[in-house]
Chain A
Amino acid sequence: MEKLFKVSELNLILKYALIDLVRNYRKIFSIILTLFISLFILSAILTIENSLKKELNDNAKALLGGDLEIDYHSVEGNLELVNKVKEFTTISNMVEFSTMISTTREDNNQSLFTRIKTVDEKYPLYGTVVHEPEGAINQIHNEPYTILVNENIFKTLSLTINEEIKVQNQIFKVVGVIKSVPDVSGFIVFGDFALAGKETLDLLKLNTLGSFLHYEYKVKFNEGDNTNAIRKRIQDIFINDTKVRLRYPENSASGLRRVIDNFSQFLSLISISAMLIAGIGIANTLLSFINQSNMSIAVKKALGFFSLNIKTIYYCQLLILLTFISIAAYGLSFLLVPMADTYLSKGLGLNIKPLFSIFTFIKIFLVGLLVLVIFSIPTINAIDQVKASNLFRNVFQNLQFYYSKKSIFVSLLFLSVLILLFVIGSARPLYSLFYFGAFFLCLIVFFLLSKFIIFLLKSLKSTSNIPLKVSIKNITQTKSIMPITIMSLGLGVTLLLTLALVGTNFKREVAKSIPEIAPDYFFIGIQSTDRDTFEETILSMDNNVRLEIVPIISSGIVKINGVDPKSYIKRDNDSYWVIGSDRRSSWSDEVPEDNPITEGKWWDLDQPNKLQISLDAKVAKDFNIKIGDIFTLSIYGRKIEGEIVNFREVDYRDLSINFAMLFNPQFANTIPHEYLATAKFENPTKFKETVMLDNLPSLSIIKIADYLTKVTDILNKVFIAIILISTITIIIGLIVISSAIIVQGKVKEFQNLVFKILGFSKKEIVLSSIIEFILIFFSVILIAVLFAVIGSYYVIEHIFELIWQFDLKVLFNLGLSIGLVTLVLIMLTNLKYLNPKVYPLIRNQ
């Protein structure tokens, strides 16, 4: 090693690395191509992720709506404390609520469940509300009964500016259309929304649970004030207020950040799979390149080059290639940012710009370097096998991958670093680790499969069918491309089939809920006094409607066995939502049909004055709750203790009425409550929303199909991105196979020439190629389907907690398509070897 680091030696190595690279780049084109594609995918993912996070960070205050947010959730909060803060800051009050808005035309009226935000003149404290026509936002402050709606409401309800709409039983004038709002994080990202003046709240009847009221106070610090000191001062003011939650800009858009992190992690893992598949091809092409340079290496050794120097020349070439490719891949990934921006600005109102980050570039370069080194170590080590004495004998043996204990150790070490690079810092490290485990397991299985097929075919008794004989010989020969084809194709196909199965299962699960189990509508906020009116109205529309009406109250879990659960249950607990804020709970005489009891007994009728609680079994498991444990609930400000008497298996996926907590009706009936209803109509067109809203203006109606369509729409877009990227892994796999065929080219050409001399027809040669492909592909597809089934089952059943189903049609269509594309590619690559010119080969030219 000491010799290697002499500067003059290094200069020499670098010089010859450059000369060799410039003159041989055509021979290693597939390395350049596969490395570029895989690094480009990774660059694109990281660049878009960085640009998006930069946008979120730069606009953190705008996204939060201030320097600090005082969040009282569903109650107005302690105004005295808020006013104290107002003494040294600027505060913008806002209240969000959900309600129905509908058109007021003579006929064909439509309605939409909408989130409305009432704002004061100070809104927004940061950023701007982009809207049309200019000045419309001032109108909502100055004129009562005016409203700004988002583009989707405007389009869906076919509104015009200054058209009147009904919000509950009040008439409002639509004075403008919102293009985007700065505080996206405060709104439901993919819901419909509107802005109205602060007086609006008083004009509407908003005292129901269905309004989902949310009180927020956005705070802006005075210029020049010390941020930390002001934060501390505000924290001190609210120190004894347990209902408030203070949020800071760094926590803004946390949901969006989580989505970005998860999505980016997932895509990064697919891209690293593409890189590892490319690595197999790189190793193969590099070995072929070294084999072609066998004589030059021997000459260099004869001239006195050290083996290490020659190996360093090859490593330098790879390093130079990687430097240029990673710069190109990273640079070109910036071109994708405007495309992502178009989509994101439309969907979220975020405007992302390309962001150069030296750390991202280093990460991309490092990933490329690690993959190159891992796969080139056994290849470049083959140089040790080249002997200068071969020059005297005029004989050159074909080099093979060379593994020594040291090289295996170094490869494994670099592989671990590569895995750690993706695992550490990822949103879900354990999933990443599991993914890598599964990937390498697949790789090993496909490698063993190739060895097994070779073994099986070798032990086959000779056949008289010539094309079959030739194809078997091709597969079983020492320099067969079989292992590489099986590994690269197998991994790519497995990835694509798994994602396709996950995608179809997911979409089917979402879609199947609509006609089979789920109701057509949810009705929220039915007052006790309106219950009969509601029921009569529904029945008058459809006598055969399947109507379910249940009482609801809002309650919060204050203590579990005398201890505040938030003090020991972490936020990442799957069931944290149950204690996070007040939840809707209900009661029932009988055990709900789709909520079987898993432990304990139904209500003890001898204790009607004691609160008894039936709890979701999963929540009980997540919180380690036992039968007999005591919950202290806050109901309308009163603390009531209840005993857990049973656990139920609750399946929220059926979109029917499900509650984490049910109470004994003997006790709960006495609590003031309202109702929640679901309805499944014989024919959904029988339901007239506007008639219902005329009778019960404060009612909120959610059409399940609309929401499922929205979710399916988003899922479709997500899956298109995923399938696109996994298709690229298949493309890389195909390039690897094609390069492996080209590597074999000379042998193939010579073989075909011999066949030609022996009188083989072109048809027989083509047929042998097809048989060879079929033998390889069918074994690959069988194992790939097996892995795809196991992988997708795990993802659907254990991660998404949905029901997995085998989908033969998808597997068949996809398998057939990949098979045909691969076959065409193999035939095209082989085409040029079908007509070998006799003279040059016979003369050994």
Chain B
Amino acid sequence: MNTLLKLKKVNLKYQTDKDTIKVLNNIDLITKKKDTISIMGESGSGKTSLVMLIGGLEKATSGKIFFQNQDITALSEDEVSEIRRKHIGIVFQSFYLIPNYTAVENVALTLELNKFKNPQQQAKELLDRFGLKNRFNNLPSQLSGGEQQRVAIARAIAMKPDLILADEPTGNLDSKNSVMISNILFKYVKEEGSSLIIVTHDSKLANKAKRKIKIKDGKIV
């Protein structure tokens, strides 16, 4: 009953002009609530594809993905969006803040989408927690890489998701910022009781997770 996420014989294939590329091959995975999982593997092994499937951003070729006991592979795009909106926060390697929104607006967007009260105020409080008090009204282009990633994390966790998906969140940062970002992420999931699936090449970061998964040629090894 404690299961948050369950992947059952999940396959992902891409069809090219010439042949079929198997990206993920019969993946089985169970994640419990408050779990922290790191996924490691070589480039092209299928790590990011796995996160995309879990986030409902890609459709699996076959297999089932259950999120909170609901089969998301059977849902429409909008229904999956609704789940993502309420329960899943995503952190990208390249931050992907909306360029013409300020830091507060980027964070408030997800709160407003989930109909939180006083979204601007809550966004400010969150950014303040991440040491960005003086950056509320700055546009992404006026922020450093570390600051941008902190805003991106604030945006991902603002609506208190049950699951955070982080795709190489420190990949574009220097070591000092990498440590800061990983501390923020792990501190948050510990305090709030969310689950975290983090894709990384950084073994130090991977070691912080309770479970470590390695993917090779589309299979969990």
Contacts and interface: CB of A to CB of B under 8 A. Distances in A.
Contact of A392 (B81, B86, B167): B167
B100 A20 contact: yes
Contact of B109 (A8, A303, A391): A303
A24 B98 CA distance: 13
Interface in B160-189: 167
A304 B55 CA distance: 10
Which residue of A298, A300, A392 has the most chain B CB atoms within 10 A of its CB atom?
Answer: A392
Given A307-B77, A392-B48, A299 B113 contact: no
A761 interface: no
Interface in B101-121: 101, 105, 109-110, 112-113, 115
Interface string A434-466: 000000000000000000000000000000000
A356 interface: no
Interface string A1-16: 0010000100010011
Given A296-B99, A306-B78, A8 B115 contact: yes
B156 to A, nearest CB: 9
B94 A394 contact: yes
Interface string A716-735: 00000000000000000000
B51 A306 contact: no
A23 B105 CA distance: 13
Interface in A288-342: 295-296, 298-308
A392 B84 contact: no
B96 A389 contact: no
A24 B81 contact: no
B57 A303 contact: no
Interface in A383-422: 387-389, 391-394
Contacts of B83: 304
Contacts of B94: 391, 394
A19 interface: yes
Nearest to B89: A303
Interface bin, chain A: 20 to 34
A19 B101 contact: yes
Which residue of B52, B98, B167 has the most chain A CB atoms within 10 A of its CB atom?
Answer: B98
A296 B55 CA distance: 18
A304 B101 contact: no
B52 A389 contact: yes
Contacts of B81: 301, 304-306
B67 interface: no
A304 B88 CA distance: 9
A19 B105 contact: yes
B192 interface: no
Nearest to A11: B112
B98 A299 contact: yes
B128 interface: no
Nearest to B99: A296
B113 A392 contact: no
B71 interface: no
A308 B112 CA distance: 17
B113 A302 contact: no
Interface residues of B, number: 32
A298 B52 CA distance: 13
Contacts of A389: 52, 57-58
Contacts of B97: 299
Which residue of A16, A23, A299, A388 has the most chain B CB atoms within 10 A of its CB atom?
Answer: A299
Contacts of A308: 78
B202 interface: no
B115 to A, nearest CB: 6
Nearest to B49: A392
A299 B96 contact: yes
Contacts of B100: 20, 23-24, 296
A304 B113 contact: yes
B105 A303 contact: no
A710 B98 CA distance: 65
Given A302-B57, A304-B84, A392 B78 contact: no
Which residue of A12, A19, A303 has the most chain B CB atoms within 10 A of its CB atom?
Answer: A303
Given A389-B52, A392-B48, A392-B92, A303 B113 contact: yes
A296 B155 CA distance: 14
A584 B155 CA distance: 90
A296 B167 contact: no
Contacts of A301: 81
Contacts of A15: 112
Contacts of B155: 303
B52 A392 contact: yes
A302 B106 CA distance: 13
A426 B217 CA distance: 70
Nearest to B141: A845
A303 B86 CA distance: 9
A307 to B, nearest CB: 7
Given A19-B101, A304-B113, A298 B85 contact: no
B220 to A, nearest CB: 19
Interface string A507-530: 000000000000000000000000
B110 A303 contact: yes
B99 to A, nearest CB: 7
A521 B113 CA distance: 83
B98 A296 contact: yes
Given A19-B105, A24-B100, A302 B84 contact: yes
Contacts of A16: 109
B42 interface: no
A574 to B, nearest CB: 61
Nearest to B112: A12
A301 B52 CA distance: 13
A12 B98 contact: no
B151 interface: no
Nearest to B51: A392
B85 A304 contact: yes
Interface string B17-58: 000000000000000000000000000000010011001011
B90 interface: yes
Which residue of B78, B81, B100, B109 has the most chain A CB atoms within 10 A of its CB atom?
Answer: B81
A326 B98 CA distance: 30
Nearest to A24: B100
Which 8 pairs from chain A and chain B are nearest by CB? A304-B85, A389-B57, A23-B100, A296-B98, A304-B84, A392-B48, A388-B57, A389-B52
28 contacts: A8-B115, A12-B112, A16-B109, A23-B100, A24-B100, A296-B99, A296-B100, A299-B97, A301-B81, A302-B55, A302-B57, A303-B109, A303-B113, A304-B82, A304-B85, A305-B81, A305-B113, A307-B77, A307-B78, A387-B57, A389-B57, A389-B58, A391-B92, A391-B96, A392-B48, A392-B51, A392-B93, A394-B94
Interface of A: 3, 8, 12, 15-16, 19-20, 23-24, 295-296, 298-308, 387-389, 391-394
Interface of B: 48, 51-52, 55, 57-58, 77-78, 81-86, 90, 92-94, 96-101, 105, 109-110, 112-113, 115, 155, 167
